[in-house]
Amino acid sequence: MKILLVQPPYNSQTVGGNNFYIPEPLALETIGASVTNHNVKLLDMRLEPNLLETLKQFQPDIVGTTSYTPEVYRAQGILKQVKDFNKEILTVIGGHHATLIPGDFNKEYIDIVVIGEGDITFRELTDAYEKKGDLRKINGLAIRQKNGEIFLTQPREMVLNLDNAPVPRRSLTQNYREQYFRLIWRPVASMMTSRGCPFRCNFCSIWKHEHGKYRARSAESVMNELLTINEKYVSISDDNFLQDAARLEKLYHLIKQSGIKKSYKIITRSDSVVRSSKLIEQWKEIGLSEVTLGLESFRDNELKSLNKNNTVQKNSEAIKIVKDNGISLTGHFIINQNYMKEDFEALKEYIYKTGLNHPMFTVLTPLPMTDYYNEMKSQLLTKNYEMYDLVHSVLPTKLPREIFYEYYSDLYYDIYIKNNKNNSQEVEFFNNIVKNICTGLKNSYQLLN
């Protein structure tokens, strides 16, 4: 049976667009690895947008796609185009948003919604469909009936031992791999060594999606996958890589003994860095080149309001630890809609004071199904999911919207262009990106008017 997996394209109006990062589609590569007994093709529409031509040439029996919240309409559009091409093709969607709000995909052109992890569910679905079996016996599905009603099957249990989960089938993206990048890293591979996060930030839907659980692969499992990755640069997509220090110390020794030479980028929390400063030193030895920290704020009261369970002191300590080890640091801050000019200026001063290499800024966004969404939904300016991209403010701003975005874009301009004293190869690259961002931000407020 022929199965086509489709990665949705980027929104052309996304600020910065695909100038920052085009990672390999790990989720679809993993799904593809679960159905090796079928003929599988993966179309990455961020790089190859011609879906119709692929449908004509490949003639799939099943088409599956995935979606985060800002991608909902694009994912819907993909499956509608598939049904318009051939209504006999089984259309399937899964992923983050589909798991949290499957009802958003109750459309006549979508046959199946996969709820929860698709590793096992999609394999069982495809095998049963090929044999004309009863799909209602498969856990983790929302099946659209002929009368338009949705039949929910029993919930799918989570994969408890991630060592048993399929390893991404990177051969499916062989034709794209040279085009996957992150800033000046290219080509870059991505990998996942754990799923979930034990923390309860009110703006985050990851822990909701993962039922509040954190699960990690063994050091040996991660090492075995690393040995199959050809790229020099590896971006590790875990939500909090440093959560399990003992596991990572073991992995450090395995990598060191293997002699593998790669550069790694990780995402983690500042308190995890402070707690595991020795790990930062060790991983620097084996290639840790970039750390991304979810700092969120430079004020304790704001961290508390986000239920971050962290402090500014820990943020500052973590910045120092990473910088003292000569590792590039990206710090993410959340811009509150109540910010006035003095708040933007105070944020810049904190960044200058700590010497943060690459600050990034997102607008506080009540993502659907988060605690913050439930708190703020009466104040939403729009329910257009395209606007939930962490850049557009879907809540009212205290400043006039145009002024808010002017100060927002000035954060990037002042830090990356006006006051940039570096002479590294990154400067010209960032200049081009930041000019794009500044222009986009100053105009983006109009999209909500």
Domain spans in the chain, listed from the N-terminal domain onward:
2-152, 180-448
Would you say the C-alpha torsion 70, 76, 82, 88 has a positive or negative sign? positive
Q: Where are any strands of DSSP class E within 192-232?
A: 194-195, 215-216
- Looking at the DSSP assignment, which residues form a beta bridge with residue 360? 332
Instruction: Give residue 424's pLDDT.
Output: 58
Specify the pTM.
Answer: 0.94
Q: What is the helix (H) or strand (E) element at residue 104, kind and residue range?
A: none
What is the Cα–Cα distance from 373 to 209, expressed in whole angstroms? 15
pLDDT of 418 reads: 77
Secondary structure (3-state) at 64: strand
List, in order, residues 6 or more apart from 168 with CB less than 8 Å away: 24, 26, 29, 30, 32, 33, 191, 225
Q: Hey, what CATH topology would domain 180-448 get?
A: pyruvate-formate lyase- activating enzyme (3.80.30)
Check for a shared fold between 2-152 and 180-448: no
What pLDDT does residue 80 have?
99
Question: Low-confidence residues of the chain, pLDDT below 70?
Answer: 12-19, 420-449
The CATH H-level superfamily of 2-152 is: Response regulator (3.40.50.2300)
Residue 258 CB contacts under 8 Å (≥ 6 apart), including other chains: 223, 226, 227
CB 67 within 8 A of CB 5: no
Give the span between the Cα atoms of 319 and 312, in whole angstroms: 11
Say if residue 187 is preceded by a cis peptide, omega within 30 of 0: yes
d(CA 229, CA 304): 40
pLDDT of res. 212: 82
pLDDT at position 209 is 84
pLDDT at 11: 79
Number of residues in the chain: 449
pLDDT tens digits, 203-241: 998 888 888 889 999 999 999 999 999 999 999 999 999
DSSP string of 198-237, one letter each residue: S---TT--HHHHTTT--EE--HHHHHHHHTT---SEEEE-
Return the closest-CA partner of residue 287 out of 256, 244, 258. 256
Pairwise CA distance, residues 205 & 370, whole Å: 5
